[in-house]
Structure 1
Amino acid sequence: MASLLRRRPRPHPLPAGVPSHLLCRFSALPQVDHPPPTSAPTSTTPASTRASVLDLQLAVRGEADPARIHSLVAGALSNPSEYPRLHASRPLFSLAASRLARLRRPDLAASLLHTLLASAPPSAGLLARAISLFPGPEDALRAFSDSAPSARSDVSLSALLSALLRAGRVEEIKSTVASAESSFGFAPGRASHNVLLHALVKNSELAAARKLLAEMSSKKLKHRAAPDIVSYNTVLAGYSAQGYEQGFEKLLKEINVKKLEPNVVTYNCRIHWFAKKGETFKGEELLDVMESKHVAPNYLTYNALVQGYCKEGNAGAAMRVFKRMKVMKRREGRSDLGVSAHSQTYVVLFRSLVEKERLDDALWVCKSCFAMKAAPPFEAVKGLVEGLVKGGRSAEAKDVVAKMNFLVKGDAKVAWEKIVGELSLEEGTPSSKP
């Protein structure tokens, strides 16, 4: 079986259980807004403290014993004179919690985060950050329930609801929002309602999500916060995933009427919609609109266009968009910050180029994969090699095979060697394939 490119994970995690053919569309669903992370010690913090926190972070990164990781950080929390405001170092606790989870000690991760909350003055920001790092919803619920009333707010509640959403506990999200005012003494705001919208969409309850969005817009109920573009994007992405054209178009008009400023997620939803309808060229036109509106496209923008064109059999247009993505500069003006494609984009584009016998483009994409030390799909590589040999380019074909031989490891090597055995790398030499 052909290997897949191994690339960095998506910046925006997808809801669990989403079918593979809906990944692109659901990846447009926005994450719940959380407060900006409190940074590590700044230039106003003594240099010795900054060095100590950095040393601690490096020690955690290099430690393989989960008990030792817990001891290092918990010990630092118990020594505030040496580590003042250590609780404000989100990178350290994020690293420690993720390391402990990967080492299969979520209990130690939870214990460390509870220690963090007990060691610092109660605040909504700290509570929200800690809740977002708990490995399971039960500890998140306990942290919220045990917190001081002053730390409970829409920010920390939305973090709790997000933890429940990751666990798939949609009904509990509904009941928590409904009872928040009587249970916690404050009405849930926009951030919490946006998590509820996300939960309803994820649970395929689009009618309920649309009703909630209308209630938020009407402002008839005092505890319904006015929706923002994130609220609309969430439902819009749900309509796109379900192929509900009437609801999709009506919601776009409502966004325009309310004069909400579309962001990259809004444009991505529209581009996915056009690609799904076989009108990817209309989606590409939105790139120019985004540029005129100073909305920077991201990898999802280009992925949708490339895959849409490939699905339509237009490999040339797909390659044009792909190259446009590679040279795109971010708004900060730094030329080294282009947009990276997702691994599946490389796979789809490479296969499409080989199928259409666009060998030069296919070879360019193949070499790009090699530069990332990733092996493209075996069958597509086989097609490329055969096309190169047929075109009198055996030297290039041999180079591709040699690089694949170097890259492919482990169990996949057996499958690749079988492919190689079926190839003829000399012009005019019959293939060994039966």
Structure 2
Amino acid sequence: MTSLLRRRRHAAHPRAAAAACAPLLRAFSALPDVDPSASSTATPTPAAPTSTSARAPVLDLQLAVRAESDPARIHSLVASALSSDDFPRLHTSRQLFSLATSRLTRLRRPDLAASLLDLLLASAPPSPGLLARALSLYPGPDDALRAFSSSPPAARSDVSLSALLSAFLRAGRLDDIKSTISLAESSHGIAPGRASHNVLLHAMVKNSELAAARKLLDEMANKKLKHRPAPDIISYNTVLAGYSVQDDEEGFEKLLKEISLNNLEPNVVTYNCRIQWFSKKGETVKGEELLDVMESKGVAPNYLTYNALVQGYCKEGNIGAAMRVFKRMKVMKRREGRSDLGVSAHSQVYVVLFRSLVEKEKLDDALWICKSCFAMKAAPPFEAVKGLVEGLVKASRSTEAKDVVAKMEFLVKGDAKLAWGKVVGELSFEEGPSNSNP
């Protein structure tokens, strides 16, 4: 049973519903805050409001959208803000548009989500950046294609084309990706560049067309083929990951050598591919050595890095090493000194490690991991919790066992509560006469 992550939800602001025409939220997080097509010569007025006061109505609108359950009302809130002259450059606020469109899609009104994005594109001068941002938020690839096809030439570039291709990729429409790339220049006046080709590579690998992906990568690396852009480390990483998935050792090692020969700087994805490769082969210790190399080169590991190492060591039965890596991750998180930096453990890391600790009857470490999940408002896998509770009772630690059950009762919600109730019904807190404290 998968873990049930339950994060705290922000309480709805009491003034939120009244902020009908307030603007959107901070900047587009994944792309530049300021649209590259906008004029940078505008002189700020002396009476410009402070950033805090300027953001207040924007935050109010975000809270209003989050609290609203009426799709029409959500659309009206954001549409009114877009048409207001009181909030210039509202179109640069990705976070609220992402929130609004996702809320509308979940409320089964993708038509209203698409309508909002159409209004977004009409609210500012056309630019590739703005179009790419909007295309990434459309609820379906057909709406994204319509928006791209009807966009002015100034908004079309490899960036926006790759955003359209990514929409097809999310929908699993590989044939549309191939046809769009082949017709991009004749139909849309855009020569597909590196970003678009990287999406195509990703689609091929995802569709198990590894030989075709490798052929395309070779064509990109062939400087004589002018219609193919030069590959970057992302291009190579995409195919490298494909070789890893298919356990193609020859292709994997050969591509690693090409990365080195082409003087491409490995990034975190490159290292993660190699670490995952070692972990799958039962050589996780070599993967951990790469972690040291990453740190020496200033390449920050992410949760996938540690997840591969923890899973690898657990698979090998080396629970001590798995705990060492896990604690190393926690230390790195604290060393950064900021909650939004460093590495946060993914739920899967906790699940794998917790299960292994329970199986090996490492009760103290398992209890620590379990309590860490509770601190994050997360309910660990039921069968592993059951094993922990039974182990604690067997070790004459019934008080701790009952505390675990009580915290689970508090965390588990909805349909999962019934399943957890069945688990509790199978538990016994009676300690055997021969049990003793460890």
What TM-score, normalized to structure 2?
0.85
- Name which of 269, 273, 278 aligns with 1:269: 273
Q: What whole-Å deviation, never above 9, does each CA across 1:132-165 have from its counterpart, x for those lacking one? A: 1111111111111111111111111111111111
Structure 1 position 332, deviation (Å): 5.5
Do residues 54 (structure 1) and 62 (structure 2) align?
A: no
Task: Please state how far the C-alpha of 1:391 moved relative to its aligned partner.
Answer: 2.5
Question: 362-371 vs 244-253, which deviates more?
Answer: 362-371
Please point out which of 135, 141, 151 is paired with 1:137: 141
Aligned length: 404
- Percent identity over the alignment is 80
- Partner of 1:167 in structure 2? 171
- Is the 8 Å Cα contact of residues 336 and 342 (structure 2) preserved in structure 1? no
RMSD: 2.6
Match of 1:209 among 197, 210, 213: 213
Instruction: Quote the Cα distance in structure 2 between the aligned partners of 1:164 and 1:150.
Output: 22
CA distance in 2, matches of 1:54, 1:387: 48
Moved more, 152-161 or 401-410: 401-410
Amino acid at match of 1:57: Q
Cα distance change, pair 35–150 in 1 and its aligned pair in 2 (3 A) = farther
Partner of 1:306: 310
1:23 maps to which residue?
A: none
Q: Which residue of 2 aligns with 1:103?
A: 107
Question: How many angstroms apart in 2 are the aligned matches of 1:4 and 1:297?
Answer: 24
1:347 paired to 2:342: no
* Inter-partner Cα distance in structure 2 for 1:198 and 1:119: 33
- The answer to whether the aligner puts 1:182 opposite 2:186 as a matched pair is yes
1:66 is matched with 71
Select the residue among 76, 81, 87 that pairs with 1:76.
81
Q: 81-90 vs 386-395, which deviates more?
A: 386-395
8 Å CA contact 1:117, 1:126 repeated in 2: yes
| Secondary structure, aligned partner of 1:328 | helix
Q: What is the CA–CA distance in structure 2 between the aligned matches of 1:414 and 1:112, rounded to whole Å?
A: 40
- 2:319 maps to a residue whose letter is A
Distance in 2 (CA, whole Å) between partners of 1:274 and 1:52 is 51
In the aligned structure 1, how far is the partner of 2:96 from the partner of 2:413? 34
Query: Which residue identity does 2:59 align to in structure 1?
Result: L
Whether 1:36 aligns to 2:31 is yes
Q: What is aligned with 1:283?
A: 287
Confirm or deny that 1:379 pairs with 2:389: no
Q: Which amino acid counterpart does residue 58 of structure 1 have in structure 2?
A: L
Shift of 1:397: 2.3
Deviation at 1:172, TM superposition (A): 1.1
Tell me the equivalent position of 1:231.
235
1:137 corresponds to which letter in structure 2?
A: P
Q: Deviations over 1:226-254 (max 9, x none)?
A: 11111111111111111111111111110
> Equivalent residue for 2:26?
none
Letter in 2 for 1:70: H
Corresponding position of 2:121: 117
Partner amino acid, structure 1, of 2:369: V
Normalised by the length of structure 1, the TM-score is 0.86
Question: Structure 2, unaligned stretches of length 5 or more?
Answer: 8-28
Q: Is the 8 A contact 1:87 1:120 kept in 2?
A: yes
Of the two structures, which has the highest relative contact order with CA contacts closer than 8 Å and spacing of 6 or more?
1
Question: Which residue number in structure 1 is paired with residue 12 of structure 2?
Answer: none
CA deviations over 1:197-243 (Å, ceiling 9, x no partner): 11111111111111111111112221211111111111111111111
Looking at structure 2, the residues matched to 71 and 416 of structure 1 have their Cα atoms a distance apart, in angstroms, of 42
Retained in 2: the 8 A contact 1:229–1:262?
yes
C-alpha spacing 1:67/1:430, structure 2 compared with 1 (3 Å): farther
CA 1:287/1:62 → structure 2, altered by over 3 Å: closer, same or farther? same
Cα pair 1:39 1:89 within 8 Å, conserved: no
